[in-house]
Amino acid sequence: MKNGINLLAFSIAVVCLLSAPNVWTIDQYYYGSVDGTTGATLRDGLHEITRKGPQDMSYNKLWSAYYITDVYPEDSVGKAGKIWDMYSNVLFTPGNNQCGSYSNVGDCYNREHSLPKSWFNEEKPAYYDLGHIVPTDGKVNGQRNNFAFGECADGTRLSHGDHVGKGKLGASTFPGYTITASVFEPDDEYKGDFARMYMYMRVRYKSMDMTRDHGHWMFNDLDTNYGLTYYAVDLLMKWHRQDPVSVKEILRNNGMDSVQHNRNPFIDYPILAEYLWGTKIGKRFTLASSLPSFDPAFIPGESDGTRTDTIPPVPPKPEAIENTQISTNYEKILRDGRLLIRINGEIYSITGQKIE
């Protein structure tokens, strides 16, 4: 995908907002209840916001939801309308390649609980929440099984002909996890995506037990670290910082909003993670000073929003727009308590809707 995303990531995002709530509802009221809060009050506020969804969903409806949330956009050359699979390079056709049985990478795609369903005993609505369930190659999904996310120096990456898995299964090398125990490591370009999914799930289901099987490595049933283990905090915050929010995630978040009527706050405001698990613990979160999802100050290794110089965009990988940095030619505006963005004289909401 060309760097032309810079000409407006927002114009793409608007397509997915057509059936979303009115832009005034999102901007003026959606996150208003957490403005000025801190600590457990902030976490509880995010819980109340996210628990408004999923609405009108079921496990079977995930198949149709993926047409909206998980396909390449129309200007993805050679990929438009195909399933955007974070576990393989396969371009599945929505509806035509649903699993079923499989033998090899590339046979079909299924519904991957990135937070394995066995960890939370298949409780609903988490069992069909788009916030963590993505379409992935069936064979790689089976390899991942219910192992925890982690990092491994050497691991097994599946392939079949030209079809190659993304992510590998191997012995853990990340501090805090039993060395030599198996973990699944996603590819670098999607680590932040999965980290923010886990953050969403922890605040959305703050009281749910997620510690069965390998889940006890990532989650606790106490309120320590707001439900994350120390291992998970270190791992997820590392991934969150190194792989910042991409256009892909913005599009998926807007699509999720239109389908199940809630959003992932750690995509809209990446800096939120710092207030719960990072450099701003104990500090007061305010909308006016926080980073919108496309703020270029949120860059790998630096997510505290203190940098003010112009950050050159990172060239995207050939895959598509996953690592495309968003436009740097912007100005934040606070108007009547609403955070807006001015780009080339035009005003946009935090979710990409053109205001004027």
Chain centroid, CA 239 distance in Å: 11
The per-residue pLDDT for range 68-122, each reduced to its tens digit, is 999 999 888 899 999 999 999 999 999 999 998 999 999 999 999 999 999 999 9
Q: Please tell me the predicted confidence (pLDDT) of residue 330.
A: 56
Residue whose tokens read 């080339």: 344
Q: What percent of the chain has pLDDT over 90?
A: 62
287 contacts: CB under 8 Å, gap ≥ 6: 31, 32, 35, 269, 337, 339
Cα–Cα nearest to 177, from 212, 194, 159, 152: 152
Please choose, from the candidates 286, 250, 281, 242, the residue with its C-alpha nearest in 3D space to the C-alpha of residue 267: 250
Instruction: Give the closest residue to 70 by CA, choosing from 22, 157, 156, 137.
Output: 137
Model confidence pLDDT, tens digit, residues 37-69? 999 999 999 999 999 999 999 999 999 999 999
Mean pLDDT in residue range 204-208? 97
Summarised one tens digit per residue, pLDDT across range 294-327 is 444 444 333 333 333 333 333 333 333 444 444 4
What is the arithmetic mean of pLDDT over 145-160? Answer: 97
79 neighbors 321 (Cβ within 8 angstroms):
no
**pLDDT reported for residue 162:** 98
Which of helix, strand or coil describes residue 198?
Answer: helix
The pLDDT value given to residue 142: 98
Residue 116: name the closest of 259, 43, 217 by CA: 217
Share of the chain above pLDDT 70, in %: 75
Q: CA 83, CA 337: separation in Å to the nearest integer?
A: 38
250 pLDDT above the threshold of 80:
yes
Mean pLDDT of 282-298: 68
Percent helix, strand and coil across the chain, each to the nearest 5: 35, 15, 50
Range with the poorest average pLDDT among 61-75, 129-143, 326-340: 326-340
